[in-house]
Amino acid sequence: MRYEIVGPENYQAFDTFIRQHEKGHMLQTYAWSKQKPFWTWRAVVVRNDQQEIVGAMSVLIRKIPATPYTLMYAARGPVCDINNKEVLKTILDGAKDLAKQFRSYVLKLDPDVTFDETIFMQNMQELGFALAPKAPNFENIQPQYVMRLPITGLNEEEVMMLFKPKTRYNIRVALKKGVEVKICGKEAVHDFYNIMVETGERDQFMIRPEQYFADMLDNLGEDVRLYMAYLPDGTAIAGTIAVHVGNKVWYLYGASSNAHRNYMPNYLLQWEMIRWAVETKCDIYDFRGISGDLSEDNHLYGLYRFKSGFNATFTEFVGEYRYIFHPLAYKFIETAIPKAKKILKKIRK
């Protein structure tokens, strides 16, 4: 078993493996790396003695300002038989090679592996990975808690019957009120962005620039869809972005205007994205992040309530692993720099 490092000039075999593997993830594809132009992309590919790819990991690399070091990040990697320690070790060997080339101080990864996979967790510990503390409210790069709807082998009618009665009712409300959902191109990005701004102000979260969403339609091509919900008069009132890779569809971004919320466009948008997952014979529709704290007084509880209406399953991932190449640099960058920023912020105030 051996590893090789691939770059943008020879990514094809790597990408095919990612898209066909049951653990494949949109964030591990080469196309997603194009959405991150300020990062350098490389991938580690592991082949067995028959030259077949048995494991792979997409790695994004970024320089840390004012230091000679870089950060390596493998979003939802690696992709392989998660219980095969030999494959995991060979992927790590490739990552160590990359770390030398790019002077990386740490590798961070947050695999598509649930917290009950004890063999995987034991293997990662024995290989020298450290597991970060649990992140119930989106403290890490990727959400540790998501809602997933298993749909293997189901048709639309069967999936619809999985939903709670109130959710099915709200989908019908949107249809009766004449809400129309369309799959749109870049011409609708401006409307989507304006609604996203409105949503960000209402729910108090930062949003991406408009160009980011336009670039996503270019970079991800047929893997991505922009869904927009319109009133009968053509007014855009909500929108979502979904991505399909392999056996999954992910709900990536969503926005809704303050007006016409009683038209229930968000429910109809979710249904149309789920229909895409059924159409492409996916195993999973992924609603993405929720809080791990399910108490009703949590300000993020509404996310769980909405997504659980579709009878999705509460899913806890193992979390974020870190392999530290340079302990002193890690301590300085991860501890000293954030503290210094806080002090400077106080001084400015």
SS (H, E, C) the chain: CEEEEECHHHCHHHHHHHHHCCCCCHHHCHHHHHCCCCCEEEEEEEECCCCCEEEEEEEEEEECCCCCCEEEEECCCCEECCCCHHHHHHHHHHHHHHHHHHCEEEEEECCCCECCCHHHHHHHHHCCCEECCCCCCCCCCCCCEEEEEECCCCCHHHHHCCCCHHHHHHHHHHHHCCCEEEEECHHHHHHHHHHHHHHHHHHCCCCCCHHHHHHHHHHHHHHEEEEEEECCCCCEEEEEEEEEECCEEEEEEEEECCCCHHHCHHHHHHHHHHHHHHHCCCCEEEEEECCCCCCCCCCCHHHHHHHHCCCCEEEEECCCEEEECCHHHHHHHHHHHHHHHHHHHHHHC
User: Cα(20)–Cα(247) distance, rounded to whole angstroms?
Assistant: 8
Domain 146-316 CATH superfamily: Gcn5-related N-acetyltransferase (GNAT) (3.40.630.30)
Interval 59-79: pLDDT, tens: 999 999 989 999 999 999 999
pLDDT at 344 exceeding the cut of 70: no
Which tokens is 109 given? 């990864």
User: Cα(346)–Cα(123) distance, rounded to whole angstroms?
Assistant: 43
C-alpha closest to that of 85 among 119, 61, 115: 119
Peptide bond into 8 cis (omega under 30): no
* Helix 118-126 vs helix 85-102: crossing angle, to nearest 10: 40
User: Sorting pLDDT into bands at 50, 70 and 90, what band is 347?
Assistant: low
User: Sorting pLDDT into bands at 50, 70 and 90, what band is 336?
Assistant: confident
- 336 phi, psi to nearest 5 deg: -65, -45
CATH fold label, 2-136+317-348? Aminopeptidase (3.40.630)
**Model pLDDT, residue 342:** 66
User: Sorting pLDDT into bands at 50, 70 and 90, what band is 186?
Assistant: very high
pLDDT at 213 exceeding the cut of 90: yes
User: Sorting pLDDT into bands at 50, 70 and 90, what band is 288?
Assistant: very high
Q: CATH 3.40.630.30 residue ranges in the chain?
A: 2-136+317-348, 146-316
Interval 162-174: pLDDT, tens: 999 999 999 999 9
pLDDT at 130 exceeding the cut of 90: yes
User: Cα(23)–Cα(105) distance, rounded to whole angstroms?
Assistant: 27
Torsion of CA 328, 333, 336, 341, to 10 degrees: 170
pLDDT above 90 covers a percentage of the chain that reads 87
Question: Is residue 298 exposed (0-12), middle (13-18) or buried (19+ Cβ within 10 Å)?
Answer: middle
pLDDT at 339 exceeding the cut of 70: no
C-alpha closest to that of 156 among 244, 241, 288, 271: 271
C-alpha closest to that of 309 among 146, 168, 164: 164
Q: State mean pLDDT over 147-152.
A: 98
C-alpha closest to that of 180 among 115, 275, 270, 268: 268
- 145 phi, psi to nearest 5 deg: -125, 130
User: Sorting pLDDT into bands at 50, 70 and 90, what band is 315?
Assistant: very high
Question: Is the pTM above the cut of 0.85?
Answer: yes
Interstrand relation of 70-74 and 79-80 (parallel, antiparallel or unpaired) = unpaired
**Model pLDDT, residue 195:** 97
Q: Chain-wide mean pLDDT for the chain?
A: 95
**Model pLDDT, residue 304:** 92
